[in-house]
Structure 1
Amino acid sequence: MLTAQDDLIGHQTPAPFATSGAGDERFTERYWYTAHPINGSELLVDIGLGYYPNRHVMDGFAGVTIGRKQHNFRASRRLGTRPLDTSVGGLKIEIVEGMNLHRLTLADNPSGISFSLEFGASFPPAQEKQNYREREGIVEEDLARVSQFGRWRGWIAVDGKRFEVTPETWWGQRDRSWGLRSEMRTDETRPPVATHRNFFWTWSMFQFERSALSVFLKERAPGKPHYLSGTEFRREADGSISHREVTAFEHSIEWSDDQLGQTIAAADFTFKFDRGEPRHVRVVGLPTRFYLKAGMYGGLKGWTHGDDRGEQHAAHDVWDLDDAATRVTARTLSDHVVRLESGGEIGFGISEYGVAAGYPLYPAPQKFPAL
Structure 2
Amino acid sequence: MVHQTPDPVRVSWTGDPRAYERYWMIAHDTTGEVMVATGGSIYPNLDRAEAYAIVVRGGRHTAVRSFRPLGVDRTDLRVGPIAPVIVRGLREWRYVLEPNDQGISWDLTFTDTTRQVFREPLSDSAHGTPSGRRNDVTAGFEGFGSVSGWVEVDGERVELGEGSFGTRDRHWGTGRGVGGPTMSLGGRLHVGVNGNAFVPFADWTLWGDRVYYPFGHATPGATKVLKPTRRLRFDPETQVFVEGVVDYRLVTGETRQLHYERIGEQTAYLRCGMYGGTPDGDIHQGSYDGPAMTEGESYDLTDLRQRIGLRGLDEHLCRVTCDGETVLGVYQTIDPVAFEQCTAGRPGWAFL
CA distance in 2, matches of 1:232, 1:81: 35
Change (3 A) 1:151 1:358: closer
Q: Note if contact 2:143-2:212 (Cα within 8 Å) is conserved in structure 1.
A: no
Give aligned-pair identity as a percent.
Answer: 26
CA distance in 2, matches of 1:324, 1:342: 31
Q: Aligned residue pairs: how many? A: 337
Q: Note if contact 2:203-2:214 (Cα within 8 Å) is conserved in structure 1.
A: yes
User: Are positions 1:207 and 2:200 aligned together?
Assistant: yes
Q: Note if contact 1:27-1:53 (Cα within 8 Å) is conserved in structure 2.
A: yes
The residue aligned with 2:69 is 78
Q: Superposed, which structure 2 residues align to 1:168-187 within 5 Å?
A: 168-183=162-177
**Greater Cα offset, 354-363 or 29-38:** 354-363
Q: Which residue identity lines up with residue 343 of structure 1 in the other structure?
A: D
Change (3 A) 1:19 1:326: farther
SS of 2:226's equivalent? strand
The residue aligned with 1:11 is 3
CA distance in 1, matches of 2:149, 2:93: 12
Which of 224, 229, 232 pairs up with 1:251? 229
Q: Note if contact 2:81-2:100 (Cα within 8 Å) is conserved in structure 1.
A: yes
Which of 150, 165, 168 pairs up with 2:145? 150
Deviations 1:181-211 (A, max 9, x none): 2318888xx99995799x7402111111222
**How far does residue 308 in structure 1 lie from its aligned partner after superposition?**
4.0
The residue aligned with 2:245 is 267
Change (3 A) 1:148 1:64: same
- Structure showing the higher strand proportion among its residues: 1
CA distance in 2, matches of 1:28, 1:15: 17
**Greater Cα offset, 143-152 or 252-261:** 252-261
Which of 299, 302, 305 pairs up with 1:319? 299
User: Are positions 1:329 and 2:287 aligned together?
Assistant: no
SS of 2:83's equivalent? strand
* TM-align CA RMSD: 3.1
Change (3 A) 1:244 1:146: closer
Which of 250, 253, 256 pairs up with 1:279? 256
Change (3 A) 1:99 1:191: closer
Structure 2 residue runs without a partner (length 5+): 347-352
Q: Superposed, which structure 2 residues align to 1:1-371 within 5 Å?
A: 9-39=1-31, 41-132=32-123, 134-135=128-129, 136-166=131-161, 168-183=162-177, 194=187, 200-215=193-208, 229-233=209-213, 240=218, 242-273=220-251, 275=252, 277-287=254-264, 288-300=266-278, 301-354=281-334, 356=337, 361-363=342-344
SS of 2:228's equivalent? strand
Deviations 1:3-26 (A, max 9, x none): xxxxxx533222233321322110
Q: Which residue identity lines up with residue 196 of structure 2 in the other structure?
A: W
Change (3 A) 1:127 1:272: same
Q: Which residue identity lines up with residue 211 of structure 1 in the other structure?
A: W
